[in-house]
Structures are given as C-alpha cells and as structure tokens.
Amino acid sequence: MSTTTPVAARLALEDGTVFHGTAFGATGAEATGEVVFNTAMCGYQEALTDPSYSGQILTMTATQMGNYGIAAEDIESGKPQVRAFVVRELARLHSNHRAETSLSEWLAKHGIPGISGIDTRALVRKLRTQGALRGVVSTGGTASDAELVAKAKAIPSMAGQNLAACVSPAARGAFTEDLGAWSPEPARREGRTFRVASLDCGAKRNIYRNLVDRDCEIVTLPHDTTAADIRALKPDGLFISNGPGDPAVVQATIATLKEIAGEIPTFGICLGHQLLALALGATTWKLKFGHRGSNQPVRNLLTGRVEITSQNHGFCVDEKTLRAAGGEPTHAHLNDGTLAGFRHTTKPIFCVQYHPEASPGPHDSSYLFDCFIDIMQSRKPVTAEVMEKHQSASARAAAAVAV
C-alpha cells in the first residue's frame, strides 16, 4: 500500500464544470481529449490499450478500478492509448496471480495521468445529457480552474480528426499469436490456411488472435496501403480493422476500398464497418455520446437472434444512405435502433459496428469470424443461411463449455 502524500487532480470540462479528485498514474502531467464513458464492469486494461480510444479521456462507470492489476497477456496494443483515465475509486491493493504491476504504476510508466475520487455518476449523467465533452485532466498542476476550462474549449472536436493515421502501423507486418488457453474450442478447419490482408487502422490484438485461431495468416498493412499493393499479396480475404477518430476523413483507406472491396472477400469491424459504408457511397454521423461497453444488445436481422456485444465507437453509418448505396442492414442496435452491421447483396462484403472478438465481453458474436472464413471459401456474399449455421454452432459450443 502506498504511503505517499496524495496529489490533487482536476478534470475540467468545456461547459465550465470542474471535478476535484486525487491523482494517480503520471503525476505533474496534463492531458486533453474528448471525455467518454464505458459501461463495462471489468476489462479496464483491454479498454485502456484499445487504439479506438486514441485522443480520448476514458471514464469507467463501474465504481472500483485496478483491483486485479495489470497482466501482460491482456493488453490489446503495445501501450495505453487513452489520454487520461477517470475512476470513482482506485483500488489500494491489487490481487491477481497474473498481475505484474499495479494500474497506477503502469499508467505512470507510460506517462498517462489518472484522476480518482470524483462523482463519476454525475460526470456520466452530464455526458449522456450534453453529449461527449472536451476536457482536461491536470494532476498537480498550478493552472487555475478557469484556465483549464479555457484549454478544454480550445481542444479540436473529434469530428474531422484522422486519428487512424496516428495509430496505424508504419510498415507491413505479421501477427501469429492465437487465442491459446482462451480458445473456447479446437480450431475447426479443413487443412487450408487463408491469407488475410488487414488494413490496420488501430486493430485490437484479439481480433487477430481469433483469425489466427481459425488458421489465417495475417498480413498487417498501413491504413493507406493501395489496392495494387494488396492485390500483389494475393490474399484470400481483406479485413478492415477498428480504429479511432472520424471515419469520413480517412480518405486514403476509403479510396482503396472503393477500388478493391468485394473484389476480395471483405470483412470490417467498427471503424472498418464505417469505412466500407463510406466507400460504397453512404454517409456517417457522430453519435451524441457513443456506444462503449460490453453489454450492448444487438439483433441479427437475418437470423432473428439477439447478441450481447462489446462496443466502442462514437460515429454511426446512416442507414438510408447505405441502402441507397446497395448495402443491406444485417444487425441493429436494440437500445437506439442504429445500424450495427450490413452486407452487400451482390459482393462478398460484410461488416459489423461492434466487436465480435470482445476482450472484454461475451462471445455471442464470435461466429462472425467463421462467416468470414466461409465467404473466403465460397467468394460469395454472406447469406442468412451462412450466419444461421455459424451462429447456431457457436451457441452450441458455448453451451457445451458452460456445462
């Protein structure tokens, strides 16, 4: 247990609100970004390392964070991606045989400030009412409250920011790690390895683990890789990953997808879903406060089944423009009716707004990776029958594991 003197910290919002709390992580630091919230009860480490949170200050609605420390196996990228972390209570001790360090020590190592001891219920209510707000976290700084509020007001809006370019890899690479002990069942392959080219806009590692677990060779590519360079790889499938920022300004990726999506069987997740829609000619819009958490209900419109999903996004595809562009909705968010997935009716293209790899979250949607394998085999559009087959098989496997 730490015996050091607590350091004061503040969270200042653009609307003039200032929360006073206690610093953890990097003290004497200041961070700016869009303040958002996540409703998951656990999984803070996976959330903190999700590149989709780049440029944001993350608030957790669960009351205590840090109680199981930090384990190397649970990170989703090479480092914490958030600008700052906001919690109600920071656990004074962590208890987990897998933990290598504490949450506070890990954030301090990476220069990420945190603030604890504030009323996160009041903060989240404000964000739900007013929408995501720009904010500043200051730990041990001397600036006045008014100066911090002025800084918050000067932060660029998330709309118009191409943050995918900031987290995308600089060069071609490979990913070979599988799910290992976390695999819910043995690999279900027929002796063939599929080469998947991934336009990496900030991918979570567990997406790739799920594909490797299904005998896929993963070639990771910068987000601005051209169609010609992708064709040169002779891939069996094209994957477009999750990522941060405004999808409408990721023009290099959109241009590539306009040329090649569907020529090769194509699957997108989260930002990838939005970029594929934009490439087809649809439009996107910014949600008021986004969908972030591991308990988001989605209905598969092709099978009628409901999935509880993990989500992290602040933008959404406009369904009317998607239909006009030739896309067919396949999934809908049950809380607000927004589009959560679509397919192309004549090309092997499908995608979802949420995270079938979870990490953290339920595995209801892992069948979508099997659907991707299926369309790489057939090179035909995904059908209701294909989704029903894999969704039913996934449900049976999960029931067997539970027993």
Neighbour-count burial of 321, counting CB atoms closer than 10 A to its CB (0-12 exposed, 13-18 middle, 19+ buried): middle
Neighbour-count burial of 129, counting CB atoms closer than 10 A to its CB (0-12 exposed, 13-18 middle, 19+ buried): exposed
Candidate list 270, 316, 351, 371, residue with the active-site label = 270
Residue 371: active-site member: no
Candidate list 223, 355, 363, 390, residue with the active-site label = 355
Residue 270: active-site member: yes
Candidate list 201, 357, 363, 390, residue with the active-site label = 357
Q: What's the distance, CA 96 to chain centroid?
A: 25
- Secondary structure string (H, E, C) spanning the chain: CCCCCCCEEEEEECCCCEEEEEEEECCCCEEEEEEEEECCCCCHHHHHCCHHHCCEEEEECCCEECCCCECHHHCCCCCCCCCEEECCEECCCCCCCCCCECHHHHHHHCCCEEEECCCHHHHHHHHHHHCCEEEEEEECCCCCHHHHHHHHHHCCCCCCCCCHHHHCCCCCEEECCCCHHHCCCCCCCCCCCEEEEEEECCCCHHHHHHHHCCCEEEEEEECCCCHHHHHHCCCCEEEECCCCCCHHHCHHHHHHHHHHECCECEEEECHHHHHHHHHHCCCEEEEEEEEEEEEEEEEECCCCCEEEEEEEEEEEECHHHHHHCCEEEEEEECCCCCEEEEEECCCCEEEECCECCCCCCCCCCCHHHHHHHHHHHHCCCCCHHHHHHHHHHHHHHHHHHHC
Residue 46: active-site member: no
Q: Which residues are catalytic?
A: 270, 355, 357
